[in-house]
Chains A and B, each alone.
Chain A
Amino acid sequence: DSGVTQTPKHLITATGQRVTLRCSPRSGDLSVYWYQQSLDQGLQFLIQYYNGEERAKGNILERFSAQQFPDLHSELNLSSLELGDSALYFCASSVGTENTEAFFGQGTRLTVV
């Protein structure tokens, strides 16, 4: 157990819908990272927050947004869902900003039908 908690574990939804994925970092970690992993594209970095502020940004779609709350948990919002958004979404956390050792949650498997 990495100490990073993601909910829900599985999510099935229809195209066009909006979902929210939640991540609770390890106790004491200030950085949260979001990743998308699909079979054809491997692991893709989406975004990083550090202590509530956006720190790094990958090729995150405009339909996707994230935030980190004062209690340091984070949410990833995916809207206008398409079939291609079906993937495993991982959250990771680390103490500092540099991701020298980040710990991953078990992921949320999103299926868009």
Chain B
Amino acid sequence: GQNIDQPTEMTATEGAIVQINCTYQTSGFNGLFWYQQHAGEAPTFLSYNVLDGLEEKGRFSSFLSRSKGYSYLLLKELQMKDSASYLCAVRDNFSGTYKYIFGTGTRLKVLA
């Protein structure tokens, strides 16, 4: 089957580093995405991984291990504005049909 798991909530302190994990099970893995969504707003694209390894983009980095079905999003130098939900999503290609599967999101609270 297809499934994505990520923690429901996390709390961290301003200036700290936080790692949000995501594990997935899919039939035909074809890429993993991370999105940020502030309450009441549209999701914003953060990162895309299709090969194993780390992708760094400013304060945000995303890691993928396809053999372990595992990814994480690393946020450094946390700021109050980073308080948001972080969505992990996988593109799955099963028998030539693509679909995107989303986790339920991790709600991150950044405390002063």
A residues with a Cβ closer than 8 A to B are: 2, 33, 42-45, 48, 55-59, 90, 92, 98-107
B44 within 8 A of A: yes
Taking the closest CB of chain B, its distance from the CB of A64, in whole angstroms, is 15
Partner of B43 from the list A43, A56, A57 (CB cut-off 8 Å) is: A43
Q: Is the interface of A mostly helix, strand, loop or mixed?
A: strand
Question: CB-CB < 8 A to B101: which residues of A?
Answer: 45, 58
**B-side interface residues, number (CB < 8 Å):** 20
Question: CB-CB < 8 A to B43: which residues of A?
Answer: 43, 90, 92, 104
B112 within 8 A of A: no
| CB-CB nearest in chain A for B104 | A42
Do the beta carbons of A103 and B97 come within 8 Å of each other? no
Partner of A42 from the list B42, B45, B105 (CB cut-off 8 Å) is: B105
Closest 4 CB pairs of A and B: A56-B98, A104-B42, A45-B100, A42-B104
Do the beta carbons of A56 and B99 come within 8 Å of each other? yes
Do the beta carbons of A99 and B91 come within 8 Å of each other? yes
CA distance A92 to B87 in the complex (A): 15
Question: CB-CB < 8 A to A99: which residues of B?
Answer: 31, 33, 48, 91, 100
Taking the closest CB of chain B, its distance from the CB of A57, in whole angstroms, is 6
B29 within 8 A of A: no
CA distance A9 to B97 in the complex (A): 31
Question: CB-CB < 8 A to B104: which residues of A?
Answer: 42
Question: CB-CB < 8 A to A107: which residues of B?
Answer: 42
Question: CB-CB < 8 A to A100: which residues of B?
Answer: 31, 48
Partner of A106 from the list B42, B89, B91, B98 (CB cut-off 8 Å) is: B42
Partner of B42 from the list A59, A90, A98, A101 (CB cut-off 8 Å) is: A90
CA distance A101 to B46 in the complex (A): 8
| CB-CB nearest in chain A for B43 | A104
Question: CB-CB < 8 A to A43: which residues of B?
Answer: 43, 87, 89, 102, 105
Question: Known contacts A100-B48, A101-B48; is A45 also within 8 Å of B99 by CB?
Answer: yes
